[in-house]
Chain A
Amino acid sequence: MSQIHEQASLPGCPGCEEPLESGDLFCGACGYDLSAVPAPPGDRPTVAITVPAPSAAGRAPAAPVEWPSASETDSSDLPAPTHRPADLPGTDSGGRPLPTADQAQGPAAVRPAAPDAVRSDRPDDGPEGASGDFELAAPDPRTAEHAAAAGATGGKVCVACRSGRVDTDGYCENCGHAQPRERDHLERELDSVAAVSDRGLRHHRNEDAFAVSSTALPDGSPAVVAIVCDGVSSATRPDEASAAAATAANEALLESLPRGTHPQQAMHEAILAASEAVNALAQEPGRAGEQDPHRHQNAPACTLVGAVMAGGLLVVGWVGDSRVYWVPADRTGPPARLTEDDSWAAQMVATGLMNEAEAYADERAHAITGWLGADAYELEPHTASFKPDRPGLVVVCTDGLWNYAEAATEMAAAVPSDAYERPLHGAQVLVGHALDGGGHDNVTVALLPFAVPSPGAGSACGTT
């Protein structure tokens, strides 16, 4: 839905002076946490993971999600593997149940976490904030836009030292500092979906990628697509892998959905197309001049998570540990996570070898066991289909966000109350949430406001 940013007469953001709107919890421009004590301008907010309490009765004890049963007829003639409320985890595209703690799984269905089948996507977890900042510190990504705007009049001036010119390689001719790249911070907003991707505070480049689009089914009803990918940083060219995967999956869906392919089948095929695109990168030579043997041991690889809203269905698909969350618009029902990570910890829990606390405390917890790329052990695209009975927000994100809002309730709390009406602003706020938490990884999130097509089924957006 198109967002009109009404300029209210409220005072501006303490961080960037962007005009604020009533009810804003975070600044839409820079992600400033407005619930925090105002800090002097330019000072990085130090409030880590300050989550405002949900304004509505969102903290209700975890009741089972009440999904309505799916209609038997669908926009395509293919059997529609929709889910009943009890089937929240969904099925994979082979029709098999997803590996979850709740469902008994034969050991054969789960790949052993052999070292060669595990890749780390998280070079992080160092001491936080202990760094003596570079004396000519790079701008905080939240203020980079403002800095760029300031220098825009006089041509390209270094954002770090503000005196050197920027050379053609993107480095300052005075202090050598790398300049913000286009991909460091990307935003995109369509009528019914928005996405934001940010380099974060601890990585030198953004290896996440996203693609959002909309199209129409054969019956003319809209279909909305969001794909989010996270490059595996222990492999070579992770940024190229994520970009290739997001583009390929998006294009595949834009091709198959209008033809009437069932969205879940379309998602399955899109993941396969993304996989091929990433595999193809392994055959290409690397970027000229990049001699970095440490990073050249593995073929390009990435995770993928996608969501499609079409024909009243919400279809999700994934490989790796990027996730989809569901946050009901009116916050009366509980939020939910719709994906199961391909991760070491998830596998340990699923096989009953460890409980959740033990598994996530292990240093291998976040090692992923599934990914797209030529080195992938065996590609198992997971897809699941849901038929929500009420409007809600679909949060499609990389671990750079969910590391700071892991539980569904935490994610729901981080989503601003008006995100359903203002998805771009909501995505900006979520990125700000991750940056305030430390921004250890690249952060990417797409928000899709899901509307229930039939009128009378609680169509009104929650007011907050």
Chain B
Amino acid sequence: MANFSKSNVPRFSVDVYQNAYLPEGGREVNAIVTVTSTGGGTTGGVPLADAAPVSTRTPGRAGPSAAVVLMVDCSGSMDYPPTKMRNARDATAAAIDTLRDGTQFAVVAGTHVAEDVYPGDGRLATADASTRARAKEALRRLSAGGGTAIGTWLRLADRLLGAAEVDIRHGILLTDGRNEHEAPEDLRAALESCAGRFTCDARGVGTDWEVKEVTAIASALLGTADIVADPTGLAADFTRMMENAMGKEVADVALRLWTPVGVEIVFVKQVAPTVADLTGRRTGAGPRAGDYPTGSWGDESRDYHVCVRVPEAGIGQEMLAARVSLILPATSGDAAPQTLSQGLVRAVWTDDMVASTSINPQVAHYTGQAELAQVIQQGLDARKSGDFDGATAKLGRAVQLASASGNADTAKLLSKVVDVVDAATGTVRLKARVADADEMTLETRSTKTVRVKK
């Protein structure tokens, strides 16, 4: 595939896996698009000795400029047990230690209101030895008390990050409870206004928070979601998250899909490392083209499943069903967006039945992984609503899919919720007693996929 990368951004490659052959009358074209970014994020989170540039990216060795806001839940429930607040403070301190020198940062204490406890006054600090020490000092003064209104935390993070002239804007959010002190619409509105302005990882600590709230934050802000059931695991998780954030090299990358006249987009999903439906997040980008947000990229590889419906054509015809490209938005008003790399999705009509009936292994695999995520969600919802037969059927199917695709992590999580009688047929029994943490872990991580065994 063509690669148009420039020296100051990571090298992106696009590989398209598909069976382009359609039978007579065939219209649905499926393709797995693998996007791999290399050459950026080479620090892997290790703080650089040299200070990174503050406002503009310098081509060459220096990493991109970044700003990070840490949002720590300080609601009253964080004191039950008191170790929770202590662990949250320690974890935030560990994350601050992982900040690359020169990174701008702030700490927000979140309750029913949001307060920027460090450095304060609506500013960001620039990471170095002394600001890290002062930030950790500020953490020690945090105490639990008050409610939970996550939308206010996000809006403050947005104001702080929006003032910084940096390449990468990222948030890390920790909560231990439900978003009880604002209406669900308030959180939704906050997410809508923050989407595309910064990325955010979200973590739930303990088992008193709402999985769908935390996953919705990560999904809207193109970050990761996870559970930290045991607060002692927080520091390690925060360190990993910050390392990951520090590895990001380029932000606001969009997956652009161009389709010819008459071609209908059925769906666009990220399918690895997690399933995330992007279909509804399209923004127009010129005639017959639309952009789907993918957030920030470091050294990583993600897979997307693109499904389009093409007009019928005769045997022997060939058409371009879609052109997939990675786009970096224009940095200034008059500059054109930069195409990082692109791939072609084709359709070829043949009367060779062997060719047209074979299913591309990547497409088959990710179709299964997407179904796996869906049946886990449906199974857990059924279980909560008392529909045990439905739950058994859905979770049985999940066991079957996880087992067949080699998704060992998900299989392990499933086995804490159901007793597996026969994985191959998906025969399971619901466990009578399931720990909240196990159920929440399964739900939070249900979208995690594995890649095709090569």
Do A and B bind? yes
Chain A contacts to B: CB under 8 angstroms:
123-127, 130-138, 161, 164, 169, 171-172, 174-178, 199-205, 233-234, 288-289, 291-295
Closest chain-A Cβ to B362's Cβ sits at a distance in Å of 8
Closest chain A residue, CB of each to CB of B352: A123
A178 proximity list for chain B (CB < 8 A)? 317-320
**Contact present for B16 and A132 (CB under 8 Å):** no
Residues of chain B from 333 to 358 with CB closer than 8 A to chain A in the complex: 343-344, 348-355, 358
Give 13 A-B pairs besides A202-B316, A289-B343 with Cβ atoms closer than 8 angstroms. A123-B351, A123-B352, A131-B24, A134-B314, A138-B316, A164-B261, A174-B261, A175-B260, A176-B260, A178-B317, A292-B18, A292-B19, A295-B355
Closest chain-A Cβ to B364's Cβ sits at a distance in Å of 11
**Contact present for A176 and B17 (CB under 8 Å):** no
**Contact present for A202 and B351 (CB under 8 Å):** yes
Q: Report the separation of the CA atoms of residues A291 and B263 in the bound assembly, to the nearest whole angstrom.
A: 22
If the complex has contacts A174-B260, A175-B261, A202-B351, are A126 and B24 also in contact, measured as CB distance less than 8 A? yes
Closest chain-B Cβ to A51's Cβ sits at a distance in Å of 24
Q: Report the separation of the CA atoms of residues A202 and B349 in the bound assembly, to the nearest whole angstrom.
A: 8
B343 proximity list for chain A (CB < 8 A)? 289
Q: Report the separation of the CA atoms of residues A169 and B21 in the bound assembly, to the nearest whole angstrom.
A: 19
Q: Report the separation of the CA atoms of residues A178 and B259 in the bound assembly, to the nearest whole angstrom.
A: 14
**Contact present for B344 and A169 (CB under 8 Å):** yes
Render B12-23 as a binary contact track against A, CB cut-off 8 A, 1 for contact: 000111111100
Q: Report the separation of the CA atoms of residues A138 and B348 in the bound assembly, to the nearest whole angstrom.
A: 13
The reply on B162 being an interface residue by CB < 8 A is no
Closest chain-B Cβ to A21's Cβ sits at a distance in Å of 31
A203 proximity list for chain B (CB < 8 A)? 316, 350
Q: Please provide the 6 A-B residue pairs with the shortest distance between their CB atoms, ordered closest to farther.
A: A126-B351, A176-B260, A123-B352, A134-B313, A171-B320, A178-B318
19 A-B interface contacts by CB (under 8 A): A123-B355, A127-B24, A127-B351, A133-B313, A135-B312, A171-B260, A172-B260, A174-B261, A176-B259, A176-B321, A178-B318, A178-B320, A199-B316, A204-B350, A233-B352, A292-B20, A293-B360, A293-B361, A294-B19
**Contact present for A132 and B25 (CB under 8 Å):** yes
Chain B contacts to A: CB under 8 angstroms:
1, 15-21, 24-25, 259-263, 310-321, 343-344, 348-355, 358, 360-361
**Contact present for A169 and B311 (CB under 8 Å):** no
Closest chain B residue, CB of each to CB of A170: B320
A199 proximity list for chain B (CB < 8 A)? 316
**Contact present for A176 and B319 (CB under 8 Å):** yes
B349 proximity list for chain A (CB < 8 A)? 131, 204
If the complex has contacts A169-B344, A205-B318, are A124 and B16 also in contact, measured as CB distance less than 8 A? no
B315 proximity list for chain A (CB < 8 A)? 126, 131, 201-202
Q: Report the separation of the CA atoms of residues A294 and B320 in the bound assembly, to the nearest whole angstrom.
A: 19
Closest chain B residue, CB of each to CB of A440: B351
Closest chain-A Cβ to B148's Cβ sits at a distance in Å of 47
**Contact present for A289 and B344 (CB under 8 Å):** yes
Q: Report the separation of the CA atoms of residues A127 and B361 in the bound assembly, to the nearest whole angstrom.
A: 28
Q: Report the separation of the CA atoms of residues A204 and B355 in the bound assembly, to the nearest whole angstrom.
A: 13
Closest chain A residue, CB of each to CB of B1: A289
Q: Indicate which residue in B321, B344, B348, B358 contacts A204 across the interface (CB closer than 8 Å).
A: B348
B19 proximity list for chain A (CB < 8 A)? 292, 294
**Contact present for A125 and B318 (CB under 8 Å):** no
B321 proximity list for chain A (CB < 8 A)? 176
**Contact present for B20 and A138 (CB under 8 Å):** no
**Contact present for A124 and B352 (CB under 8 Å):** yes
Closest chain-A Cβ to B46's Cβ sits at a distance in Å of 34
Q: Indicate which residue in A123, A132, A177 contacts B350 across the interface (CB closer than 8 Å).
A: A123
Candidate in B15, B261, B348 with the most chain A CB atoms within 10 angstroms: B261
Q: Report the separation of the CA atoms of residues A203 and B16 in the bound assembly, to the nearest whole angstrom.
A: 22
**Contact present for B24 and A161 (CB under 8 Å):** no
B259 proximity list for chain A (CB < 8 A)? 176
Closest chain-A Cβ to B440's Cβ sits at a distance in Å of 38
If the complex has contacts A123-B350, A176-B260, A294-B19, are A138 and B317 also in contact, measured as CB distance less than 8 A? yes
Q: Report the separation of the CA atoms of residues A126 and B355 in the bound assembly, to the nearest whole angstrom.
A: 13
A137 proximity list for chain B (CB < 8 A)? 313-314, 317
B310 proximity list for chain A (CB < 8 A)? 176
Q: Report the separation of the CA atoms of residues A233 and B351 in the bound assembly, to the nearest whole angstrom.
A: 13
